[in-house]
Amino acid sequence: MAKYFQATLGNEVDPEQRPSWNVAPTTTVLGVEAHRTEGSEDLTRTIDSFKWGLVPSWAKDASTGNRLFNARGETVTTKPSFRSAFKARRLIVPADGFYEWHRQSDGSKQPHYFTRSDGEPFGFAGLYERWWDKEAPDAPPLTSCTIITTEAGPDMDGIHDRMPVILNPDTFDIWLDPDIEETSELTALLRPAPDGTVAHRPVDGRVGNVRNNDAELINPVDS
């Protein structure tokens, strides 16, 4: 992941950490953020750990993040929970794939695993925040993030009406640049992925239980 995103690993990221096949909100995910060294035009990318579920700096407690794991692209620039982070704290959430559930004609739900058609990792558009616990002023800040979603593109095949915003590598620097303040340049990236970007396959319903976390979860099954 570090090589693909041309980033260095943060001090808190274990390069040998066990992968997760069933990432759930409120757990830890990786995020790519960028900074510009003073006097330089170049961006330096770093991969760090974030709690999945944005906790705004003004939140009374960390539980606020339990319901802010996604941000709608249509309102991310105006909603108080996200607008400050959108202006200056954007990141990319890397992933090999994501799951969505399809409600079938008999009422049952079938999970599908989505990947990039070209086999490359996803780079989801996201935001991050740092939150300080006023009850523990000496504690380090909690770093948290959210993933931005948009309306479903053609590759979702009617399985779900939303999908993560998938960034192409040639837009990574635009999205990560903290000095870009032109809203229209950024919101232009918050669109459904073009036809052919994403492929999917039905997988085992065991993914519905977060205690199941093994590589067999992404194996195809008969739907």
Query: Is residue 95 one of the residues assigned to a domain?
Result: yes
Inside any domain, residue 218: no
For 155-191, the pLDDT digits (tens) are 999 999 999 999 999 999 999 999 897 899 999 999 9
Tell me if 223 is assigned to some domain: no
Q: Is residue 195 part of a domain?
A: yes
pLDDT of 112 above 90 = yes
Whether 167 contacts 125, CB under 8 Å: yes
Identify whether 220 is part of a domain.
no
Query: What is the domain count for the chain?
Result: 1
Asked if residue 183 belongs to a domain, the reply is yes
In a domain, 166, yes or no: yes
Distance CA 69, CA 160 (A): 17
Q: Residue 33 sits in which domain range?
A: 8-14+22-208
Strands 43-52 and 142-151: parallel
pLDDT of res. 68: 97
What is the end-to-end Cα distance of the chain in Å, rounded?
31
Q: What is the pTM of this model?
A: 0.95
Q: Does residue 106 sit within a domain?
A: yes
- Provide the CATH number for the domain around residue 108: 3.90.1680.10
Q: Where does the pLDDT of residue 137 fall: very low under 50, low under 70, confident under 90, or very high at 90 and above?
A: confident
pLDDT tens sequence across 200-216: 999 999 999 999 999 99
> By percentage, how much of the chain surpasses pLDDT 90?
87
